[in-house]
Amino acid sequence: MKIIDISKGVFSTPVYPGDPDPELIKIASLDEGDAFNLSVLKASLHTGTHIDSPRHYFNSGASVDKLPLEMFIGKCVVCSYENINEVNFEKDIKILLLKGKKEIKTDVAERIINLGVITIGTELESIGDNEVHSFLLERNIGIIENLELTNVEEGEYFIFAPPVKIEGSEGSFTRAVLLKDYL
């Protein structure tokens, strides 16, 4: 089995314009004579590789802790935007990870959803504009943004990328990994 980390770091990834820069604040330190090291993270929940929940665009939408884990754990396919139509989604594949730097538009999002996809991941810091976000989240489609797929070959994998259980939150960090040859 091969494990491929497809996450971008919280501190090494540029933040979305207008979001605060992340900070790691030490509140206890072995170097200062404390019994342990302890830190507080101050960051937007949309920093690095992260998940958007419907609450991101709709006050009545599900928060990340209410999203089914099946949206972020299971068989997936990695493909370029141009090869979406060649993917066989009849194999119980419900998660699509898009390689490349192209935002999706609403018509493409609708086509993807009609194929049975329940989660879409992208390498971009944002899957698309506000219209695309609203369209996907209103339909309870999972969104994973800021993935690192540059060195990942197109094909089928098993993904493990659940959100951190942050009650009531509209977004969450995730450590996304792909498994290849897992059977």
Are 121 and 145 in contact by the 8 Å Cβ rule? The answer is yes
- Say what the pLDDT of residue 92 is: 83
In the numeric block, the tokens 């994998």 are attached to 157
The 10s digit of each residue's pLDDT in 2-38 is 999 999 999 999 999 999 999 999 999 999 999 999 9
Start-to-end C-alpha separation, the chain: 8
- Residue 28 phi/psi, 5-degree rounding, is -150, 145
- Say what the pLDDT of residue 91 is: 73
The 10s digit of each residue's pLDDT in 140-163 is 999 999 999 999 999 999 999 999
Please report which confidence band the pLDDT of residue 133 belongs to, taking 50, 70 and 90 as the band edges.
very high
Q: What is the pTM of this model?
A: 0.95
Residues 33 and 38: their CA atoms lie apart, in Å, by: 12
Element (H, E) at 156: strand 155-160
Residue 124 has pLDDT above 70, yes or no: yes
- Say what the pLDDT of residue 183 is: 67
SS3 143: strand
* Segment 111-121 mean pLDDT: 94
- CATH H-level superfamily of 2-11+45-180: Putative cyclase (3.50.30.50)
Residue 90 has pLDDT above 90, yes or no: no
